[in-house]
Structure 1
Amino acid sequence: MEIWSDVVCPWCAIGRARFASALAGFGHRDAVEVRWRSFELDPYAPRERPGPLDEHLAAKYGMPLEKAREMQRQMTGTAAAEGLEFRFDRARAGNTFDAHRLLHHAVETGGPAAQDRLKGALMRAYLTDGEPIGDPEALVRVAAGSGLDADEARTVLESDRHADDVRSDELQARRYGITAVPFFVIDTRYGVAGAQPADVLREALDTAWAREAQAAQAVQTAQAAQAAQTQPPSAQVPAGGDGGEDCTDGSCAI
């Protein structure tokens, strides 16, 4: 399971919460491994963008300031329904490339669980706590708070490690035709766009699991038929005789 998103994307945080609910109700959840993939909403953003977020939103989309604030209020209400607290009045926007590099570091050193913890921590840092998301020292604090080694995180940020991994994720997003996030990809075959409700995401998981099971069964059936055509004739056991134990039909319990 792969999810493309950005840490400063409000809908991505909502999508993460909804996916967690969907996964909790999925019968095969222990078989699902989630990998967070990089997607920058604004690759050309400065390390820290000055000014209030509502003013930037209004200027970017050419809308009145009050409309931008109303959009933020609506988003805050949607987030609250998922148990999230958004504080756009605190948000300090900036470039997220380094945050994505740290997410690759997290999965490399601690696996998917560590990456998911950092993902949630980075989203809270920006959307709730007012951390400057593009500032290296802020990123080190967030990484340490999620359980990563602070010195290792700082070393990563002082180098160019995982820069190619971020770019590779973004290249794959373009190949998939992803232009907005969150975007969920199941088994590299099934895509779900947007922060869909939990029941929709759970249905997607159920459908993908069932289709993959059907495909696997079809392959097994075809392989068995091919094997039967190439096997030599079975030895014949005379009537009343004892042919001993065998597993020629594959039904033996071993």
Structure 2
Amino acid sequence: MKVEIWSDVVCPWCAVGKHRFEKALSRFDHRDEVEVSYHSFELDSEAPHEQEGDLHEHLATKYGMSRAEAEAKHRQMTEMAAADGWDFHFGRARRGNTFDAHRLLHLAAERGVQDAVKERLFRGYFTDGEHIADHATLVRLGAEAGLDADEARAVLASDRYADAVRADERQAQAYGITAVPFFVVDRRYGVAGAQPPEALLQVLDTAWAEAHPLQVLTPAGDEACADGSCSV
């Protein structure tokens, strides 16, 4: 069974959704037969390499609230994310373009370390205050998660995987995805948002049952009871 997840590395709900999905998957009876892949989604594809102002200021400006209100919102998110295993520090985050981070994740997928690199990029942005658009930073974070540093550096210096990122974004548009995280299970079920593990597990169970229906090989005869009685 395939689970495809559209997300951005600067999206706090995407980080929360990743850990919630992992909790659901750990409880899924057929978890060893699930293939998980992450797909590119840029929350702001027009963002400059590095943006001025911190996330508190950005949130306040975007939603017309005071800085104090924005800081309160971020505190609430931080407390909620802690329950899902994250240590957010919004005041450290350095805003910037995520296109190259997504290219790096496509390399990571080919090398079998996409999950680890995704996790490291989330932690780099939300916990460590790393400049997520900087090539040297991306190379270092990728290497810490299992990528070859020289290969990562060469990829980022080229335009490799640019088409793959754009293809992911076109597919998101085709699915009607406008917000992330967004989970697609077996190309049949779509789940929007960082849903609780119980809800995600239910989707996994439903998709599995539909893909593997029980086949009854022999009809019931006298050896069975039905309608509240037995023919004995």
Q: What's the TM-score, normalizing by structure 1?
A: 0.83
Matches within 5 A, 1:79-158: 79-108=81-110, 110-111=111-112, 114-158=113-157
Matched letter for residue 35 of structure 1: S
Off by >3 Å, runs of 4+ in structure 1: none
C-alpha deviation, 1:193, in angstroms? 0.6
Partner of 2:225: none
Partner of 1:240: none
Matches within 5 A, 1:200-211: 200-211=199-210
Matched letter for residue 90 of structure 1: R
C-alpha deviation, 1:217, in angstroms? 5.4
Structure 2: how far apart are the matches of 1:101 and 1:127?
A: 19
Matched letter for residue 25 of structure 1: R
C-alpha deviation, 1:74, in angstroms? 0.6
Structure 2 counterpart SS, 1:139: helix
Partner of 2:56: 54
Structure 1: how far apart are the matches of 2:63 and 2:51?
A: 16
Structure 2: state its 5+ residue gaps: 218-232
Structure 2: how far apart are the matches of 1:94 and 1:117?
A: 21
Per-residue CA deviations over 1:41-93 (Å, capped at 9, x if unaligned) read: 01011111122210111112221111111110010011101111000011001
C-alpha deviation, 1:152, in angstroms? 0.5
Q: Percent identity?
A: 63
Partner of 2:41: 39
Matched letter for residue 149 of structure 1: D
Structure 1: how far apart are the matches of 2:188 and 2:36?
A: 15
C-alpha deviation, 1:102, in angstroms? 0.4
Partner of 1:2: 4
Partner of 1:67: 69
Structure 2 counterpart SS, 1:4: strand
Structure 2: how far apart are the matches of 1:133 and 1:63?
A: 26
Structure 1: state its 5+ residue gaps: 222-254
Per-residue CA deviations over 1:82-116 (Å, capped at 9, x if unaligned) read: 111000011001000000000001111x22xx000
Matched letter for residue 107 of structure 1: A
Partner of 2:164: 165
Structure 2 counterpart SS, 1:36: strand
Structure 2 counterpart SS, 1:85: coil
Partner of 2:16: 14
Partner of 1:247: none
Per-residue CA deviations over 1:181-223 (Å, capped at 9, x if unaligned) read: 0000000111111000011101110011001112x959xx9xx
Partner of 1:192: 191
Structure 2 counterpart SS, 1:89: helix
Q: What's the TM-score, normalizing by structure 2?
A: 0.90
Structure 2: how far apart are the matches of 1:49 and 1:155?
A: 25
C-alpha deviation, 1:37, in angstroms? 0.4
Structure 2 counterpart SS, 1:148: coil
Per-residue CA deviations over 1:155-205 (Å, capped at 9, x if unaligned) read: 000000000000000000000000000000000111111000011101110
Structure 1: how far apart are the matches of 2:215 and 2:11?
A: 40
2:31 equivalent to 1:29: yes
Partner of 2:78: 76
Structure 2: how far apart are the matches of 1:88 and 1:152?
A: 31
What is the root-mean-square deviation in Å for CA atoms of aligned residues?
1.3
Structure 1: how far apart are the matches of 2:44 and 2:51?
A: 11
C-alpha deviation, 1:15, in angstroms? 0.3
**Equivalent residue pairs, number:** 215
